[in-house]
Amino acid sequence: MTPKIWKEFLPQASTIPAVNQVECNPFFQQKELKALLAEHDVKIEAYQPLGSGNAAMLSHPAVTKIAEKYGKNAGQIVLRFELQEGLIILPRSTNPERIAGNIDLFDFELTEEEMNAIRAMDTGKGKHDPEAPGIAEMLLANYKIHD
């Protein structure tokens, strides 16, 4: 749910969701949505936490500089950032080396300066627009969301 969808449907909900799965990564950090969800202790599960392998994000100087400092790859830096931001992350890969790297996130911690450098990467735009014309109608036609 986007902020608009959250504000529209939350008042109608008899149960508040515990998790909202949305596109979320350093280029699209969902700051407004995070603030709305925090009021209800709802967590974000990051869809595409690595931006679907977005080369621009993974080669961004803020990420590569931090990766070099810690001896980690860019994906590990992005995932560590997201963990420290309180996101639920489930990166997807079929590559055994990447899967192992995606788990190896707990032997370092980013400084506040490093977190701020990655926070500054936010463009406020994602690849998917849940508010695009026709999406709501498609969802309503295919999923039972009302009693």
pLDDT at 131: 66
Q: Does residue 147 belong to any structural domain of this protein?
A: no
Specify if 65 maps to a domain: yes
According to DSSP, the β-strands at 88-89 and 43-47 are parallel
**DSSP letter for each residue of 95-122:** -HHHHHHHH--SS----HHHHHHHHTT-
Asked if residue 6 belongs to a domain, the reply is no
Number of domains into which the chain is organized: 1
Q: Which domain holds residue 119?
A: 15-142
Is the distance from CB of 64 to CB of 114 less than 8 angstroms? Answer: no
Domain assignment of residue 7, yes or no: no
The answer to whether residue 137 is domain-embedded is yes
Whether residue 136 is contained in a domain is answered as: yes
Residue 36 within a domain:
yes
Contacts of 82 (CB under 8 A, 6+ apart): 24, 25, 46, 49, 89
For residue 124, the domain's CATH number is 3.20.20.100
The answer to whether position 45 is within a domain reads: yes
pTM of the model: 0.85
What is the residue whose two structure tokens read 């969802």?
139
Q: What is the pLDDT of residues 60-119, one digit of tens each?
A: 999 999 999 999 999 999 999 999 999 999 888 888 888 888 889 999 999 999 999 999
